Every structure is written in C-alpha cells, then in structure tokens.
C-alpha cells in the first residue's frame, strides 16, 4: 500500500503478522543463534538508557532538543514542553521498521569505534561517509556544525520558576530548561555560522544539572546510554545515516540528559519535508535498543548483517494492531508483569531441523508460555529420600549452617521492625485466646501465663536452631481439643493429668525423632496443591470466623438498646435497692466494715458501691452501656479496613516511592495506634487486652516442673504411647504442611529449608514444655504466612512505568527471635498493653485470615463460580481446561473443606490429622476422574504420574526424530525460503526515504 505506516505494531512475545515467515533454516535465524550462543559465559549486557533528540530551528539558530527517552518504556516530552508524559509501551508504525532496516543496510555502520569525544566521533563518521561515496567532501563542515550544536534537555522544573532561577545564566551548562533561548551572536553572519567548524556548541563535560538529575535513581548503576539524533536540514539531497558502537562506553559531555556513558549513537539527517518519517525511524531504533534481545545483538554484532538479523527477529515477534480497531493516539499502559526475555532467547535456540517456523503466519510458531505445560510439582532436594540413618537431618544441617551468620545480620533492616510489631501483636493475641480456652478446658492447669511463657520459650528456641526460622510456632485448635479430652479422661479415671501429659509428650518426642531418622518427611512430596490449599483455606477461615465470632460476642455482652424510644426517656432508670435485712449484716461483714446499713441512702450510691454493700440494681438501663457495641465494631472494622488500605498504599500515585513503601510496611502498626488513640479519645470502657502481671502458675498449688513418677500406675507410662501416636500424627501433619506452604517456590526463598530439622526441634520442645506444664506448639500456618508477607522484598530501582519486581523474602532469624522475646517480656508490659482494645486485635486477626487467602488458586476458583464468563479474569488454567471441569474440581475441594470444618467443630477434631491424610487419598482418586493434562493446570501431577509422563514424552520424541530423518519436507522448506526472500525484497525497497541511498 502507499501508506503502510497505518498498520501499527508493538513489541511482544509472538506475532500474527502479514510478513513472510522466517524458517529455522533461514540465514538470519542461524546468524542470530550464532551471535547469541557463542558467548554463554560472558557477563550480561548492561541496561540501556536511550534518549532521542530532534533538530529544532529557531530562526537562524539550530539546536538539539530532547523529545523522548526510554529505559524500558517510552516517555515523550509533552507538546507544552512542561513535563514528561506517563511511561507507555512504544507503538511503532510497520513502515518505520522497514525504513530503519533499509537505513542500516545502506547507511554507515561503525562497530567498536575508538571514541573519546563527540567532535572526534563526528569526524570519523563523516570521514567514513566520504570514503564510501555517500556524501561529498563539501558537506563536511555543514554536517559537523549541525551535529555539534547544543543539546537542550527536558527538565522537571515548572514554567513558573522563582526569580532566583530566572536570574541564573545558562551559558555554563549543556542541560537547561527547554524554555531558555540561545540567541545567535549578531556579529556573526549567518553564512559563517553554517560553514564554521570552530564554534562547537556541545559541552565537553557534564554540567551540574546533569550530575544532580534525580532521574539517575531510575537508572541502574551499570547502565549505558544510546543516543538517537534525527532531524531535517536544507543542504542535503538524500539522508545521512550512521550507526555507531563505541569500543568503550564514554561520557560525551552534554549529549545525554543524565551523566551516563554513551555506547551507541544513531544519526539520521535528511532533506526537508519528511520530519515525521525521520522521527518515526528514530523512535523505532530507540525502541529496538531497549529491547532485551536486540540490545544483546547490538552489543555482540560483528557486522551490519548481524544488526539486520536482529531486526528480522524483532519483526517476527511483533504484534499487529489493526488501525481500524485501535486508536494510535491511545497510550498503552505498561503491563504489571513484564514477560521474561529468557523465554525469547530460548525460542531462538529451540529451533530444530524439522522446519518449524519462527513466526506464526502460515504455520505454528515458537511455543509460547501458554502452550507449555505448567512447571512440575517440585519440593526440592530437601525431601529426597536418602535411605541412610538421619540422612535428611544431616543434609539439613549442612544446608543451613553456611547461612547461619547471615540469618542474623540480614535482619537489621527497618522492614524488620514493622514485621516484629505485626507478628508480636498476632502472637500475644493468640496466646491470650488459647491460654484462656486452655484454662477453661483444663481447670487452669494451663492458662494465659503458661501460654505466654510457652510461646516465648518454644518460639525463641525454634527460631534460633530450626531449618526454617520464618515459621512461627503457636497452639492450634486440634491440640486444644486433645488437651480437653485428655483432661476429662484423666479426671474421670482418677489419673493425674499433668503426669500423663508428660509421658505422652515424651513418647511423642521419641516418635518424632524416629520419623526424622527414617526420612519420613519425604512423603510430603505427595502432598499437592489440592491438599495444601484445603488445609491453608481451612486455617484462614478459622481465623476469619473466630474474629467475627468474638466481635459478635461483644454485641451480646454490650447489646444495643433497640427498644429505646426518646419519647419514653423518663421511664428508663436504674435504682439501687437496699438488701434484705437478714443478708445485709452478712454483706457488711464480708466487706469488712462496721458501716450502719440502715443509715445509708441507697438511692445515692453508685453502681459499684451498690453491689459492694450488697444492694441490688433494678431498672431497664442497669445493664445498658451506650454505644459500646457500636464503638467496638468501629475499632474492629476500622482496624481491618485501614490496614488493607495502607498495605496497598505502595501502589498509590501519591508521595515518593520510599515513603509509600514505608507506610505500607508499617500499615498494621499505624492502624493499631490510630484506633487505640481513637479509643482513648472517646473514653468508652471497651474490652481491653488483659495480660497477667504475676509470674506464677495459673493454678494455685502446682509448680513450674512436673515430676515423671509417683502419681500414676506404672502401666500408664506404657499405655500413654497410644495417644502419643495420635499427637505425633497431628504434629507431623500440621508442621510439615505449614512448612510446605511457607517454602513454596512462589516465595523465592534462597537459603533452603529443613523439614527434618524443624520436626526434630518441635519434638524436643514438646518434652521441654511437658516437663514445665506448658502447652504444646507447632507451626501456625496463618501467622507464618503473615510473617512471610511482612518480609517480602521488592526492587527499589525500577524503570519509569515498570512495576517493582518481587525479589524474595528477607530470610533471617532476628524477627522471630524478637517477637518471642517480646512475648515473654509482655508479662512486665501489662501497664502499657492494657490500653489496647480487644476489638482492635480482632481486626488484626481478620486481616491475617483474609490476607492469607490471597494467591490461593482455590479461592480464585470459588469466586469464578459467581462470575459470568465474560467478566472472568484471564487465568492460565482457564485457557486449557474447560470451565465445567474447573467448577467440578472446585466443588470437590469445597466438599472436602466443609467436611473438615464440621469435624473441627466437634469432638472428632482429634482425628483432624487423619483427615488431612484423607485429602491425599481423595487427590489420588481424582486421577480417575480428571485427565493428567487438567490436573497439571488445576493442581500438580503426582510424582509417579510425572515420571510416567516424562517417559511417554521421551518415547514420543524418539519417534518424531525417526520420522524427521526422512527429509520429506526439505523441498517445501527451500520453496518457502525463496518466496520469503522475494517478498522481503519487494517490501523493504518500496516507499523508503533511505532508498535514495
């Protein structure tokens, strides 16, 4: 067509284009494989900062003005010249890429040029053009003069500047505001200006403004620059094109907006009348230079043909946007997640000899991420079966020992403070809750004091010596049920509860050590996402439901007076009635005073005094506390809402990045402090956190240590091994499932884990807690996930428009140790902690439960059931598995979750770990209902199925290779190659401004 530039394209991973296909046997593809494959061990290429300057005419004055820049995405100078545009994906015209390809074919290409200054580089470019006969020698001075004009870079200073800024002279620097003007000296005639080589206007050293430019924070330290200069002049009849790569990156004074050394230089000067076309070619080369694959080619290219091969590869991967269905003026927002360039490099090297096409037009292209099966279920070498005595434990110790020093000094970060405060509040709330429930279940043999002390002891030791210190230990619901049943059994049969519990703990410890010695933890590799998500969802729902139940309980204790009517306010009263004379004397004697009861004016006594002296309260308003339930709800829901809002604040548009991140990290602490202050300001008697103040056992008469002999018959010591087996299964499943969830590959943990070492310490701590009469502890899934989330790290230096990348988790032991030390010290912090309202902590519990559901595929699939198909998110498994099969799989998980919920709510909660094993059996049965393809996307393939699948694929590959040796397709391939070359010859040499060369 006459104007093919109307067909727009943008960089992508694969293409649907009208271009001739590139076959794997094409010279360009083979050349590219050779370019990128010959230096596998070299350092990665630096990030390129690309700046495009256009030539501007101000009367007789010429100057280069910055018009756009790229780090990863394009930023344009807005028409008003006052600010940069938002970063956006570069949308290029198809015609501009063909013109660029022609320019590189016919222009000057200088690779590894020795350059130390811009004038010298310009002289070398012009000299080469003259030698090649591309320009005449008479144009040397004019081209040199134009290329050495001053560069005016866009600054972020507004047009309304202070008088001090307006008074500053701009003669000393090369970077200045676009609003400044540089007048031509009236004493120099125009014809001398255009023919003088002595008046170089470009600064030789970076200016102060360049060195202070804040944009440097967005550019990696090892970055290099690529400069693009395009413009039109009146003395050229055909384009002047040059592509230069310097042998060493060199800082060229005022050429670049920021003081980054320049490695590449692209120059395009042409005749008048085609400025828009030149600008589009400049944008095309600038976009190519920040493309990961092409930048590798540019650094490693040996000649002109290598660069052209890089453009051909880029053309194979672009996506065409039809002009009639898309407005080119729309700026496409940068994606939240940028596709990895490694996949594109792999697609280049995966080309085989079977004639597989490199594009998608006319045949099947390189396999995209959507067509590749998901990553197999891998839990790492930590769960490998060694077959040796304590083999897995020894490997865990060897794996973790080198990281031990870094586990401490890497914890010294401001992010750790917010994590400690968050997890600490969660732990003390959990300790108080379970301590109170244990006290009710065991007649105060274990209570809040034991819960605090046990949490501090077990948690500190575990964080010091475990294989995965990010795991947080806590009491769990099944353990509470077991303790309650054990106490009732002991009481009904005349057996000492504490001594029996001690022997169960010792037997369970021995059984845990046996499991560690035999590498029994390797069976966890059969636990797929189906089981993990069922378990973690159950624990999350328990946290959510408990928080809501406790909040609803506040409405029961402090009910809202629904029957209140303002017109009957005179009827609402509360009177203090004198006690019965026969009981009043006893009441006064109990108080310990000789007060004469008959002399009291009972109507004038306060509520406390009335109860103290044995009186009774009568009236509708006696038990009514105004607004207490409503205030509790405000504290509860306000804490949760504010925490969620501040946690997302790092994605906000307001304030600098560091401040947003700081607010996000301390979101929970800020929310708690806000609503604690609100509660103190209002002054209502909301329920507060109650912390024990005396360091003594909850039950009077019991000591801190339990003796193993003397209170029970001898057979109890042996028979206790039976209930100990149930406890061992419970501990094993709870601990290892939580560890698998924490050690997910999505968390990008780099220091490894230690399933065997963790289980060993849990068993040892059971014995220690049993001897001291403290609760038993195991990994707490929700609190551990919250610990992980509070320590997530993101990239600090990101290109404009690029979302911060998740780097991993701050793996260390310090936060966990501080949390549990503070928990132990909390006994002495009662005067401070008593100001924290319980509804605020319930709000923290609710947040932890909801936040732990994030990223669980099961929860996403539940929400899909209520969504119309057109509104469903573009999940990868929805592309490969029919929706009805997805819903069926989700329904099976919902039924399993409902059964687990019912069991945990009854006395059958003691068999909870057995039901977790039951989930693994149900998952095994799903192999008969769902295909392995569907299970690979919705869950994980079981290890033996995965092995069988790999063998099948291996056999299939061998058959394909035997078929490929026949060479039946060689004739078709050669015909397509010839057709491709003819088509390219026609497209590349039509309607190109550089064709005149």
pLDDT tens column, 120-134: 999 999 999 998 888
Return d(Cα 373, Cα 915) in angstroms, integer.
Answer: 31
Return d(Cα 109, Cα 103) in angstroms, integer.
Answer: 10
pLDDT of residue 197: 39
pLDDT band at 283 (very low <50, low <70, confident <90, very high): very high
Return d(Cα 91, Cα 9) in angstroms, integer.
Answer: 6
More confident residue, 943 or 356: 943
Beta bridge partners of 62: 57
pLDDT band at 974 (very low <50, low <70, confident <90, very high): very low
pLDDT of residue 383: 74
pLDDT of residue 990: 45
Helix (H) or strand (E) holding 58: strand 48-58
pLDDT of 481 above 90? no
Question: What are the φ/ψ torsions at residue 418 (nearest 5 degrees)?
Answer: -65, -40
Condensed to tens digits (0 to 9), the pLDDT of residues 63-75 reads 898 899 998 889 8
The top-scoring range by mean pLDDT among 480-494, 505-519, 536-550, 964-978 is: 505-519
| Interval 175-201 mean pLDDT | 38
The contacts of residue 341 (CB under 8 Å, 6+ apart) are 292, 293
pLDDT band at 54 (very low <50, low <70, confident <90, very high): very high
CA nearest to 915, candidates 903, 929, 928, 923: 903
More confident residue, 872 or 141: 141
| Interval 251-273 mean pLDDT | 89
Helix (H) or strand (E) holding 270: strand 262-270
pLDDT of residue 989: 41
Q: Write the burial class of residue 843 (CB in 10 Å: 0-12 exposed, 13-18 middle, 19+ buried).
A: buried
**Cβ atoms 500, 712 nearer than 8 A:** yes
What pTM did the predictor assign?
0.66
pLDDT of residue 363: 38
**Cβ atoms 823, 456 nearer than 8 A:** yes
Condensed to tens digits (0 to 9), the pLDDT of residues 352-406 reads 433 344 444 333 344 444 445 666 655 567 777 777 888 888 888 888 888 888 8
Question: What are the φ/ψ torsions at residue 65 (nearest 5 degrees)?
Answer: -115, 135
pLDDT of residue 81: 60
- Of the listed ranges 286-290, 549-553, 582-586, the least confidently predicted one is 582-586
pLDDT of 696 above 90? no
210, 390, 479, 523, 732 from 736: Cα distances, Å: 55, 17, 16, 10, 6
pLDDT band at 4 (very low <50, low <70, confident <90, very high): very low
pLDDT band at 829 (very low <50, low <70, confident <90, very high): confident
pLDDT of residue 526: 75
**Cβ atoms 474, 427 nearer than 8 A:** yes
pLDDT of 316 above 70? yes
Return d(Cα 613, Cα 608) in angstroms, integer.
Answer: 9
pLDDT of residue 587: 43
- Of the listed ranges 22-31, 192-201, 336-345, 370-379, the least confidently predicted one is 192-201
More confident residue, 8 or 640: 640
The contacts of residue 2 (CB under 8 Å, 6+ apart) are 991
pLDDT of residue 609: 77
**Cβ atoms 587, 560 nearer than 8 A:** no
Q: Which residues of 164-198 are buried (b: 16+ CB within 10 A; e: fewer)?
A: eeeeeebeebbbbbbeeebeeeeeeeeeeebeeee
pLDDT of 649 above 90? no
pLDDT of residue 222: 83
Length of the chain: 997
pLDDT of 42 above 70? no
More confident residue, 995 or 138: 138
pLDDT band at 973 (very low <50, low <70, confident <90, very high): very low
Question: What are the φ/ψ torsions at residue 221 (nearest 5 degrees)?
Answer: -65, -35
Domains of the chain, earliest start first:
27-155+202-335 (3.40.930.10), 390-556+636-855 (no CATH), 562-579+600-616 (no CATH), 857-944 (no CATH)
pLDDT of residue 568: 66
| Interval 463-490 mean pLDDT | 82
pLDDT band at 589 (very low <50, low <70, confident <90, very high): very low
The structure tokens listed for 284 are 């095309």
pLDDT of 953 above 60? no
The structure tokens listed for 925 are 């049965």
pLDDT of 264 above 90? yes
Looking up tokens 């439901």 gives 545
Return d(Cα 182, Cα 176) in angstroms, integer.
Answer: 11
Condensed to tens digits (0 to 9), the pLDDT of residues 748-799 reads 888 888 888 888 999 899 888 888 888 888 888 878 888 888 888 877 656 6
**Cβ atoms 889, 938 nearer than 8 A:** yes
| pLDDT, averaged across the chain | 75
pLDDT band at 200 (very low <50, low <70, confident <90, very high): low
Condensed to tens digits (0 to 9), the pLDDT of residues 540-572 reads 887 788 788 888 877 777 766 666 666 667 667
The structure tokens listed for 570 are 């005179």
Given strand 8-10, what is the order of strands in its sheet? 92-93, 8-10, 319-321
């Amino acid at each position: 067509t006459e104007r093919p530039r109307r067909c727009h394209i943008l960089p992508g991973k694969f293409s649907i284009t009208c271009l001739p296909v590139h076959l794997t046997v094409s010279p360009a593809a083979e050349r590219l494989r050779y370019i990128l494959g010959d230096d596998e061990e070299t350092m990665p290429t630096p990030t390129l900062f690309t700046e495009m300057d256009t030539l501007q005419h101000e009367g007789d004055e010429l100057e280069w003005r910055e018009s756009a820049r790229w780090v990863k995405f394009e930023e344009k100078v807005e028409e008003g010249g006052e600010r940069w545009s938002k970063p956006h994906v570069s949308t290029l015209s198809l015609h501009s890429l063909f013109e660029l390809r022609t320019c590189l074919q016919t222009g000057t290409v200088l690779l590894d040029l020795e350059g130390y200054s811009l004038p010298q580089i310009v002289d070398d470019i012009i000299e080469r053009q003259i030698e090649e006969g591309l320009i005449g020698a008479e144009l040397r001075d004019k081209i040199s003069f134009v290329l050495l004009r001053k560069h005016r870079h866009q600054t972020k200073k507004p047009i309304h500047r202070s008088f001090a800024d307006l008074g500053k002279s701009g003669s000393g620097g090369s970077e200045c505001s676009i609003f400044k003007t540089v007048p031509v000296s009236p004493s120099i005639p125009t014809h001398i200006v255009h023919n003088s080589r002595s008046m170089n206007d470009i600064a030789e050293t970076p200016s102060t403004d360049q060195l202070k430019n804040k944009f440097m924070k967005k550019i990696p330290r090892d970055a290099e620059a690529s400069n693009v200069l395009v413009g039109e002049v009146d003395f050229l009849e055909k384009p002047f094109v040059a592509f230069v790569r310097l042998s060493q990156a060199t800082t060229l004074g005022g050429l670049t907006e920021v003081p980054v050394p320049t490695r590449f230089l692209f120059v395009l000067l042409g005749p008048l009348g085609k400025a828009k076309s030149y600008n589009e070619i400049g944008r095309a080369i600038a976009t190519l230079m920040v493309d990961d694959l092409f930048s590798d080619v540019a650094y490693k290219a040996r000649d002109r043909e290598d660069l052209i091969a890089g453009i051909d590869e880029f053309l194979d991967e672009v996506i065409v946007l039809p002009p009639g269905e898309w407005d080119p003026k729309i700026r496409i927002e940068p994606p939240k997640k940028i596709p990895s360039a490694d996949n594109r490099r792999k697609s280049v090297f995966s080309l085989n000899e079977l004639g597989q096409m490199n594009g998608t037009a006319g045949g099947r292209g390189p396999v995209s991420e959507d067509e590749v099966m998901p990553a197999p279920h891998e839990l790492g070498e930590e769960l490998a079966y060694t077959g040796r005595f304590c083999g897995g434990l020894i490997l865990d110790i060897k794996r973790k020992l080198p990281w031990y020093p870094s586990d401490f000094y890497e914890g010294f970060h401001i992010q750790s403070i917010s994590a400690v405060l968050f997890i600490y509040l969660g732990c003390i709330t959990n300790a108080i809750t379970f301590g109170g429930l244990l006290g009710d279940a065991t007649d105060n043999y274990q209570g809040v004091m034991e819960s605090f002390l046990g949490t501090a002891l077990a948690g500190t030791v575990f964080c010091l010596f475990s294989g995965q210190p990010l795991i947080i230990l806590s009491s769990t619901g099944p353990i509470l049920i077991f303790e309650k049943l054990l106490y009732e059994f002991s009481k009904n049969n005349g057996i000492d509860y504490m001594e029996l519990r001690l022997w169960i703990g010792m037997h369970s410890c021995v059984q845990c050590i046996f499991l560690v010695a035999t590498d029994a933890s390797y069976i966890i590799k059969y636990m797929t996402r189906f089981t993990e998500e069922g378990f973690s969802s159950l624990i999350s729902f328990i946290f959510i439901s408990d928080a809501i139940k406790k909040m609803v309980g506040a409405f029961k204790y402090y009910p809202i007076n629904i029957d209140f009517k303002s017109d009957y306010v005179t009827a609402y009263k509360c009177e203090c009635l004198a006690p019965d004379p026969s009981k009043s004397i006893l009441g006064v004697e109990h108080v310990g005073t000789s007060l004469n009861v008959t002399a009291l004016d009972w109507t004038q006594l306060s509520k406390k005094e009335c109860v103290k002296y044995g009186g009774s309260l009568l009236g509708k308003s006696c038990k009514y506390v105004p607004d207490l339930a409503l205030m509790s709800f405000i504290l509860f829901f306000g804490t949760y809402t504010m925490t969620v809002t501040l946690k997302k604040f790092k994605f906000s548009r307001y304030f600098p990045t560091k401040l947003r991140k700081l607010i996000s990290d301390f979101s929970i602490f800020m929310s708690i402090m806000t609503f604690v202050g609100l509660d103190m300001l209002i002054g209502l008697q909301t329920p507060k956190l109650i912390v024990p103040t005396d360091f003594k056992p909850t039950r009077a008469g019991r000591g801190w240590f339990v003796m193993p002999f003397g209170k029970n018959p001898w057979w109890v010591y042996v028979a206790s091994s039976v209930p100990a087996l149930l406890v061992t299964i419970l501990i094993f499943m709870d601990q290892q499932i939580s560890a698998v969830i924490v050690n997910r590959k999505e968390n990008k943990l780099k220091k490894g884990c230690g399933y065997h070492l963790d289980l060993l310490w849990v068993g040892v701590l059971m014995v220690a807690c049993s001897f001291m009469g403290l609760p038993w502890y195991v990994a707490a899934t929700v609190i551990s996930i919250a610990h992980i989330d509070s320590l997530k790290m993101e990239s600090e230096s990101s290109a404009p428009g690029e979302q911060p990348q998740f780097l991993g988790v701050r793996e260390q032991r310090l936060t966990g140790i501080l949390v549990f030390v503070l928990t132990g010290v909390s006994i002495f912090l009662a005067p401070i902690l008593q100001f924290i309202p319980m509804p605020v902590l319930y709000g923290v519990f609710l947040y932890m439960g909801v936040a732990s559901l994030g990223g669980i595929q099961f929860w996403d699939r539940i929400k899909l059931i209520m969504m119309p198909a057109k509104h469903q998110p573009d999940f990868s498994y929805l592309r490969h598995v029919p929706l009805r099969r997805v819903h069926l799989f989700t329904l099976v998980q919902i039924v399993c979750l409902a059964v687990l919920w019912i069991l945990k709510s009854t006395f059958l909660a003691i068999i909870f770990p057995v039901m977790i094993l039951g989930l693994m059996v149900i998952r095994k049965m799903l192999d008969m209902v769902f295909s392995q393809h569907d299970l690979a996307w919705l869950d994980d393939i079981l290890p033996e199925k995965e092995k069988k699948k790999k063998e099948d694929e291996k056999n299939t590959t061998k058959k394909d290779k035997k078929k490929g040796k026949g060479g039946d397709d060689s004739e078709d391939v050669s015909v397509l190659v010839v057709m491709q070359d003819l088509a390219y010859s026609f497209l590349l040499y039509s309607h190109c401004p550089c064709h005149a060369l």
